[in-house]
Structure 1
Amino acid sequence: MQGSSTKAETKRFADWIETAADAIDRGEEPSSNILPQLAEAGYPAIGVPAALGGSGGDVVDAVNAIADVASHSLASAFVLWSQRAYIQFLLDSQNQGLRERLLSNLLAGRLAGATGLSNAMKFLGGLEPLQISATGSDTLTLNGKMPWVTNLRPEGFHVAGAVDHDDGRVLVVSFAHDDPGMTRTEDLALMGMRSANTAALAINDVQIGDDRIISTNAREWLPKSRPAFAGLQCGMSIGLAKRALSEAKACAGAGRGVLGEPLAQLSRQLDDAHARLAAGLRSQAFVTDASSLFELRIELADIVAQAVQLELQASGGRAYLEEPGRAFARRWREAAFIPIITPSIVQLRTALQQRRDAA
């Protein structure tokens, strides 16, 4: 479905994903099901202007949508983050033709959108060089790799990547699944989140024209797009932490009342971080103050770790029984994934330290 969703469709999706979450994590649910289910419930359209086929709202509404999905399945939220981040790149691009060609299929889930810009975000922070090179003018010839990209649906995808041109420019371009010279590996053998279509890409003499350029000046464009990129990532932490805290509160009955105050305190901290994220995104403060955004991402990762620890304490031995503890075990693995989502917590801490040293 494109545009908006009804309460019935949202409820149907919640019922489906709650049942399918463990199978998605183990790779037993067909990965081809996830994006169509998300689209039918209207999630990719949230925060997209109605005039462009979306349901309206802003990027904060998209963050909240990702959080909603993450409360059921982090793998599915990771797919939605990738889809919605790529959509946001098109919304931020001056390439109207590319947006017009792709957007309706992206909103409807017929085409997957992926972001290979994690390397570019690390490049901005001086953490690593760009991994794709470009030559040529009217037609670009591209070579390089993307070692870890999610939502590379074999049924069809576009993926954004930053490329280092030999004339000194840094561009952001959109690669397509059927570009000659583009090779997709088999899905990576992840410990969880196996149905998220996560793979690597090799780019060998891929040729694209100006119609595929998202930005001709990535050094200016990327800092403006970074808040949405990282802010949407934060939605995954928010949703997972809220679910773990909810489960912990439900379990913290007789004999575990001592957990009441830590749970209440962490819930308040999560709400405060969520509010600060929303305020910074809406005011565009993070465009010039990236450090505050990095600190929020780190804080939310810490909150997730504390939330699942409290869920474990509240559940007790029940968490280690295979059937009663199955969903907790999945959330535990999901929480372990949060710190390594690129840019990772270590990379963010490194970037913050570099900024402090340079000040």
Structure 2
Amino acid sequence: MNVATTLTACDFDEIDRISREELAAIANQIDEERIYPEDIIRAYGKAGAYATHAGGIDGNVDLSSAILAMARASEECLSTGFCVWCQDTLAWYLASSDSDFLKTEVLPKVLKGEALGGTGMSNPMKAMGEIEPMRLKGVRVEGGYRVKGMLPWVSNLVEDGYFGSMFHVDVEGSDTPKRVMAIFHAAWDGIKLKLDHEFVAMGGTATCNVQCRDVFVPDAYVLGDPAADFVKRIRPGFTLLQCGMAAGMIRNCIDLMKQVEGPLGHVNKYLDKQPADIEAEYDALVAEVLEMAKTPYDLSDAFYLRVLKARLRGGELAMEAAHWAQLHMGARGYVTRGAAQRRLREAYFIGIVTPATKHLKMLIAQMEAA
């Protein structure tokens, strides 16, 4: 039996209203006080932001609405846009799985924003790329796995939230452990969350260190055992969804530059990049992303390479746009609550969040050399 999830329409008018009226009003507070806007994250769920891309591998799935909703949140606040990505990606794991239990019992709550959660895949993705060791280790027991270890930086995570992750399991007679991917519930015995907010931006993201002490993961929560085929299934969508953060950041930086054309245009015209220059690149990037969003389950290497290149360009253009927004705005953007300096700090997150710029370049080089 393959449970099909009913897709929900995204109310873009409501998402725009939430972003414009509620999120914009507290964006500086999120940045300065590192508050997690839980009510807003849940409100986006009620507006359908997380439920348009959950049709599963047998459905007619398009990531466009999810990306555009995330971009709208990111225009106002990248911390919140990132939390939207976390929620979207958790839904992506669940909807892409073969687990009827997860699709029936967990996915509907995630789609509505009733249950919150994150990705938990920063360390596993780096481990798969041999950048760092796998932090979680599991052993097979009756009915599931016992898992221990510590995951740094799992975001959008509350005490009763969910996250996906991966762990190594030793294989008898082999020097190479297998990888298993599963969904974890933060309320399980043995899981302890500790908020970790020592970033120069992105503090309002409910980012936690997750300690696992002999946590029992039931078989019903396993996504891939071994994980390789499932990872290949989800990786294009996982990566492509992140482009929503970049798109929102770039759009807002263009708007910031345009805001000062009246008072500063006579001198800003000497800067190397003008709003129209960034906008042309933005339009081309968004067109490419939305075209690929129509086929997120294309598992070909050629498609994944396109996705990686778009994600890389999105991060680079976001950082570039924020740089030019700061120069265009000058001192008025460099004050404590100046929008440009906040966007500049936030933009670098797009360049370092997994997969980071250097990780993307490594993956692209490896695929092109194969």
TM-score by length of 2: 0.86
The reply on whether 1:157 has 2:161 as its aligned counterpart is yes
Q: CA deviation at 1:18?
A: 0.9
Residues 1:98 and 1:354: Cα distance change in structure 2 (over 3 Å): same
Amino acid at match of 1:333: R
Residues 1:3 and 1:278: Cα distance change in structure 2 (over 3 Å): closer
**In 1, Cα distance between the equivalents of 2:321 and 2:191?**
41
**In 1, Cα distance between the equivalents of 2:155 and 2:306?**
26
Amino acid at match of 1:143: K
**In 2, Cα distance between the equivalents of 1:38 and 1:8?**
8
Residues 1:174 and 1:28: Cα distance change in structure 2 (over 3 Å): closer
**In 1, Cα distance between the equivalents of 2:21 and 2:40?**
13
Residues 1:194 and 1:268: Cα distance change in structure 2 (over 3 Å): same
The reply on whether 1:279 has 2:291 as its aligned counterpart is yes
Q: CA deviation at 1:3?
A: 5.6
1:286 touches 1:292 (CA, 8 Å); kept in 2?
no
The reply on whether 1:98 has 2:111 as its aligned counterpart is no
Residues 1:286 and 1:140: Cα distance change in structure 2 (over 3 Å): closer
The DSSP-based 3-state class of the residue aligned with 1:179 is coil
Aligned length: 349
2:54 touches 2:61 (CA, 8 Å); kept in 1?
yes
The DSSP-based 3-state class of the residue aligned with 1:279 is helix
Query: Which residue is 2:81 aligned to?
Result: 77
**In 2, Cα distance between the equivalents of 1:225 and 1:49?**
13
161, 184, 203: which is aligned to 2:193? 184
Query: Mean Cα displacement is larger for which, 276-285 or 190-199?
Result: 276-285
**In 2, Cα distance between the equivalents of 1:76 and 1:195?**
7
**In 2, Cα distance between the equivalents of 1:321 and 1:147?**
32
2:95 touches 2:107 (CA, 8 Å); kept in 1?
no
Q: CA deviation at 1:176?
A: 0.8
1:1-359 correspondence to structure 2 within 5 Å: 4-5=10-11, 7-8=13-14, 10-27=16-33, 29-49=35-55, 58-137=62-141, 138-154=143-159, 156-167=160-171, 168-253=177-262, 254-255=265-266, 256-258=268-270, 262-284=274-296, 285=298, 287-289=300-302, 290-323=304-337, 326-356=338-368, 358-359=369-370
Cα deviation 1:5-53 (Å, max 9, x = unaligned): 3735642442111111111122354543332232233322233349xxx
The DSSP-based 3-state class of the residue aligned with 1:206 is strand
Q: CA deviation at 1:170?
A: 1.9
**In 2, Cα distance between the equivalents of 1:164 and 1:260?**
49
Cα deviation 1:136-194 (Å, max 9, x = unaligned): 1422111122111101113x111101122223432211111111111111333222222
Amino acid at match of 2:180: L
Residues 1:110 and 1:209: Cα distance change in structure 2 (over 3 Å): same
**In 2, Cα distance between the equivalents of 1:300 and 1:136?**
41
Specify every segment of 5 or more residues in structure 2 that has no aligned partner in the other structure, as ranges.
Answer: 1-7, 172-176
TM-score by length of 1: 0.89
Amino acid at match of 1:90: L
1:147 touches 1:199 (CA, 8 Å); kept in 2?
yes
Residues 1:22 and 1:136: Cα distance change in structure 2 (over 3 Å): same
Percent identity of equivalent pairs: 23
1:142 touches 1:207 (CA, 8 Å); kept in 2?
yes
Q: CA deviation at 1:259?
A: 5.3
Q: CA deviation at 1:270?
A: 1.6
The DSSP-based 3-state class of the residue aligned with 1:104 is helix
**In 2, Cα distance between the equivalents of 1:121 and 1:14?**
34
The DSSP-based 3-state class of the residue aligned with 1:161 is strand
The DSSP-based 3-state class of the residue aligned with 1:45 is coil
Residues 1:38 and 1:25: Cα distance change in structure 2 (over 3 Å): farther
Specify every segment of 5 or more residues in structure 1 that has no aligned partner in the other structure, as ranges.
Answer: 51-55
**In 1, Cα distance between the equivalents of 2:335 and 2:102?**
51
**In 1, Cα distance between the equivalents of 2:247 and 2:18?**
22
**In 1, Cα distance between the equivalents of 2:273 and 2:31?**
32
The Cα RMSD (Å) is 2.4
The DSSP-based 3-state class of the residue aligned with 1:71 is helix
Query: Which residue is 1:53 aligned to?
Result: none
Query: Mean Cα displacement is larger for which, 281-290 or 31-40?
Result: 281-290
